Amino acid sequence: MKGTTRRLVLAALFAVLSASSLFANEGSVTEVMAELVFQIGIILFAVRLGGSLIKKIGIPSVLGELLAGVVIGPYALGSVPIPMFFPHGVFPLHEGALAVSPELYAFATVASIILLFASGLETDIGLFLRYSVAGGIVGLGGVIFSFALGDLLGVFLLHVHFMDPLALFLGILSTATSVGITARILSDQKKMDSPEGVTILAAAVFDDVLGIILLAVVLGIVAVTSGQGGGQTLDFMTISGIAGRAFGIWLGFTALGLVFAKRIAGFLKVFKHSYDFSVCALGIALILAGIFEKEGLAMIIGAYVTGLSLSKTDIAAVIQERIHGLYEFFVPLFFAVMGMLVNVQELLSPTVFAFGLLYTLIAVLSKVLGCALPSLLLGFNGKGALRIGAGMVPRGEVALIIAGIGITAGILNEQLFGVVIMMTLLTTLVAPPLLNFMLKVPGRGTRKETKSSDMVSLDWDFHSDEIADLVIDTLLKDLRAEGFYVQMMNIDDGLSQARKDDIALSITEFEHHVTIETAPEDESFVKTSMYEVILKLHDAIGNLKKSSDPESMKRDLAEGQARTDRALMRLINPAAVALRLKGSTKEEVIDELVGLLAKNGSLKDPEQVKEDVLAREKSMSTGMQHGIAIPHGKSDGIESMAVVVGLKPEGINFGSLDGLPSKVFIMVVSPKKDCGPHVQFLAVIAAILRDKELVERILQAKDSEEVVRLIHGANQ
């Protein structure tokens, strides 16, 4: 085995050394492509590591991906020479406006289009329109304060006029709000549908839309001033014309997209398979992004308009799900490339660092004041206004994309780009604890009691997790047959969404409870669907009882061969073995075994585990033959799969197949919602312990180490 491993290592080393010859021909297409694929491969590992590490301390993974890019970028480790392989470093510093290669930045550009397309799909246009007045006023207040103070800071520190592109970009970059970060906090605190929650989300969308429009205006101004030779100011009419054109193009395409959304969706459905029409939807986003770029607007605006147009269609959730793999591949790569553009040395210089801190302070205060003050005029009290202000603080994806456009266009230099990255990092770090604290302050955030949502919620309690799972699976299958597009939003949390035309169902499964939220006019449809599901399952279960005999199937478990697995047997260790159980009844033995699990630190709720294991015993005893019993169950009271072994040489009545007392007890418990080899372990241990002689040797073992050794030895 060691020899095989050594040969594999040598072969891999030889392959890498051979690959290094690709870099011998400087500047060739092959050399450029080889360098690019190496870079992307390294970035993928770096962003995953950075994101997972930063999440462990409660910070959004996007910051870990951004910092990973800083660390491996050309201004840090990326330019360190590696003899023979990368003489100029894995990420060498490129000359020109960009620190990375044009090829790598091209990938980041495609990633930004995917990111904004997905953001448009996720935008709740109904929520936005419903709360457009409150959200619009709050968002407008935040944009005005942020843009004005950001621009004035540029005027004051950079000694330029108010309409200078540098000052304008600092103003725009201060306006964006990260909808994703804010939504995650509101969801965790179960405040998504609160007055503050819906106002924040609507205002955040409004901010991003306004920020994107302002970007288009500023890019138009830059194009005109550069065409005039630069350094010239524009009169009010010229600026109004640029703004009108940019706003007109955006509004025109958005209006057309929303009006013809169903027809666009119908055209995409011609491709039948959900993967096909989802990829074609992304194709439309890329085409529209190119059109907007040709018209002098940013590509991300076209991508966002495409997503926004499709957000109300019945295929929106399916497209989100189908492009998720592309999103996970490209978007972290975008954040890493943005991090690579940060000149760490410049950022840490006293002047730039002080600029960054002051810009961050302005960015936080402008959002809090700009959004909180209008909120006071919209029926919110001081608590609610501060919650809204805090929720609007985090910057994120849009700010980074705009910054990337700024440095690519030569408007931002390395120092100002670093300042923007610093502001984005700090506001994203400050916002979650600030908003969490404000949401936990007791008391409502409005002056008057607010009415509940106009959605109806229907609940069913099936008294069994397994039955609830079966109901959900059958319901989703029936909905697909009805022409609904179903998306499993979060399998672990039991969240699903089904949409067809204007009908939208939000389906939640929590333990043995099933809840469906929908519009009042669709309540009858939901009740009828659930009735048909229950009737179908009732008949199916009746037929199952007639056509099968669990008792005879249980006897068959002792027959035939089973695949052994050493890794599974490692779950049995000496610390989890009791040589002399004291219990004289089934309940007492199970209680003792659960206590042994708790002693080993495997449980978070022993009573819940005991209840779930006994519930499994009530359906049919786990007493096998030859003195063996394998009590087991799945429970929310345990964090990871665990096994304990107990011996009772004199035996007790455990309802075994052969009617004999059970003497060897092996209990396995797994989390309910966790994927693990629960049944596989049961099959392996049952196969091992059908050996009568082995069972006798286990019962005669002198210590727990010998018990484990005997079981492991039988698995060879």
Could you read off the pLDDT of 422-450 as tens digits, one per residue? Answer: 888 888 777 777 777 777 777 776 766 65
Residues 6+ apart with CB under 8 A from 200: 138, 182, 186, 387, 388, 391, 392
What pLDDT does 24 receive? Answer: 44
Instruction: Count Cβ atoms below 10 Å from residue 716 Cβ, excluding itself.
Output: 7
Pair 576, 678 in one domain: yes
Range of the domain at 475: 456-547
DSSP 450: P
Could you read off the pLDDT of 66-90 as tens digits, one per residue? Answer: 888 888 888 888 888 887 777 778 8
Helix axes 29-55, 324-340, angle to 10 degrees: 100
Residues 6+ apart with CB under 8 A from 491: none
Pair 161, 179 in one domain: yes
Pair 322, 425 in one domain: yes
Pair 705, 639 in one domain: yes
What pLDDT does 283 receive? Answer: 93
Q: Angle at the Cα of 567 (from 563 to 569), degrees rounded to 5? A: 80
- Residue of 332 and 127 predicted with greater confidence: 332
- Which two tokens mark 666? 């092996």
Q: Residue 468 domain-assigned?
A: yes
| pLDDT of 620 above 50 | yes
What pLDDT does 492 receive? Answer: 47
Q: How far apart are CA 548 and CA 93, in angstroms?
A: 70
Pair 381, 483 in one domain: no
Which of 55-64, 318-327, 342-351, 417-426 is least confident? 55-64
- Is 107 within 8 Å of 296 (Cβ atoms)? no
Secondary structure (H, E, C), 58-90: CCCHHHHHHHHHHHHCCCCHHHCCECCCECCCC
Q: Residue 135 domain-assigned?
A: yes
Instruction: Count Cβ atoms below 10 Å from residue 192 Cβ, excluding itself.
Output: 15
Torsion of CA 438, 440, 442, 444, to 10 degrees: 60
Write the single-letter amino acid at 681.
F
Domain boundary, last residue among 500, 522, 547: 547
- Which two tokens mark 585? 């009844």
Pair 58, 193 in one domain: no
Strands (E), 608-661: 628-629, 632-635, 642-652
- Is 333 within 8 Å of 107 (Cβ atoms)? yes
Helix (H, G, I), strand (E, B) or coil at 446: strand
Q: Is residue 226 very low, low, confident or very high in pLDDT (cuts 50, 70, 90)?
A: low
Residues 6+ apart with CB under 8 A from 247: 213, 216, 217
Could you read off the pLDDT of 643-659 as tens digits, one per residue? Answer: 989 999 889 998 888 78
* Average pLDDT for 330-335: 86
Determine what percent of the chain is predicted with pLDDT higher than 70.
82
- Per the listing, tokens 């397994």 go with 466
Q: How far apart are CA 205 and CA 147, in angstroms?
A: 16
Pair 610, 563 in one domain: yes
Helix axes 704-714, 692-699, angle to 10 degrees: 160
What pLDDT does 557 receive? Answer: 61
Q: What is the rounded end-to-end Cα distance, in angstroms, of the chain?
A: 17
* Average pLDDT for 679-697: 83
Q: Is residue 16 very low, low, confident or very high in pLDDT (cuts 50, 70, 90)?
A: very low
What pLDDT does 188 receive? Answer: 55
Domain boundary, last residue among 547, 577, 610: 547
H or E element in which residue 325 lies: helix 324-340
Residue 409 backbone dihedrals phi, psi, to 5 degrees: -75, -5
Residues 6+ apart with CB under 8 A from 171: 146, 147, 148, 149, 150, 151, 154, 214
What pLDDT does 560 receive? Answer: 54
Q: Residue 91 domain-assigned?
A: no
Could you read off the pLDDT of 583-604 as tens digits, one per residue? Answer: 889 899 999 998 888 887 777 8
User: How many separate domains does the chain show?
Assistant: 4
How far CA 636 is from CA of 492, 507, 602, 609, 639, in Å, comes to 12, 21, 12, 7, 7
Q: Residue 451 domain-assigned?
A: no
Q: Is residue 361 very low, low, confident or very high in pLDDT (cuts 50, 70, 90)?
A: very high
- Which two tokens mark 219? 């890019």
Q: How far apart are CA 204 and CA 186, in angstroms?
A: 13
| pLDDT of 384 above 60 | yes
Which of 48-57, 168-177, 185-194, 510-519 is least confident? 185-194
Q: Is residue 286 very low, low, confident or very high in pLDDT (cuts 50, 70, 90)?
A: very high
What global pTM score does this model have? Answer: 0.64
* Average pLDDT for 184-207: 67
Helix (H, G, I), strand (E, B) or coil at 282: helix
- Residue of 114 and 13 predicted with greater confidence: 114
Domain boundary, last residue among 498, 526, 547: 547
| pLDDT of 194 above 70 | no
- Per the listing, tokens 């001081």 go with 382
- CATH number for the domain including 581? 3.40.930.10
Pair 15, 57 in one domain: yes
Residues 6+ apart with CB under 8 A from 372: 385, 386, 388, 389
Q: Is residue 23 very low, low, confident or very high in pLDDT (cuts 50, 70, 90)?
A: very low
Helix (H, G, I), strand (E, B) or coil at 634: strand
Residues 6+ apart with CB under 8 A from 210: 139, 140, 143, 175
What pLDDT does 556 receive? Answer: 61
Secondary structure (H, E, C), 599-617: HCCCECCHHHHHHHHHHHH
What mean pLDDT value characterizes the chain?
Answer: 79
What pLDDT does 131 receive? Answer: 61
What pLDDT does 558 receive? Answer: 56
| pLDDT of 284 above 90 | yes
What pLDDT does 490 receive? Answer: 46
| pLDDT of 481 above 50 | yes
Q: How far apart are CA 519 and CA 529, in angstroms?
A: 15
Could you read off the pLDDT of 119-140 as tens digits, one per residue? Answer: 778 766 665 666 667 777 888 8
Q: Is residue 3 very low, low, confident or very high in pLDDT (cuts 50, 70, 90)?
A: low
- Residue of 1 and 295 predicted with greater confidence: 295
Q: Residue 87 domain-assigned?
A: no
Q: Residue 90 domain-assigned?
A: no
Nearest to 123 by CA among 203, 213, 211, 215: 203
Pair 382, 504 in one domain: no
- CATH number for the domain including 487? 3.30.310.50
Pair 241, 273 in one domain: yes
Q: Residue 2 domain-assigned?
A: no
Q: Is residue 22 very low, low, confident or very high in pLDDT (cuts 50, 70, 90)?
A: very low
What pLDDT does 280 receive? Answer: 92
- CATH number for the domain including 304? 1.20.1530.20
> For 406-419, b where at least 16 C-beta lie within 10 A, e where not — what string?
bbebebbebebbbb
Q: Residue 543 domain-assigned?
A: yes
Helix (H, G, I), strand (E, B) or coil at 667: strand
Pair 655, 580 in one domain: yes
Instruction: Count Cβ atoms below 10 Å from residue 561 Cβ, excluding itself.
Output: 6
Q: How far apart are CA 214 and CA 148, in angstroms?
A: 12
- Which two tokens mark 330? 């490209």
Nearest to 498 by CA among 695, 647, 708, 318: 318
Pair 428, 543 in one domain: no
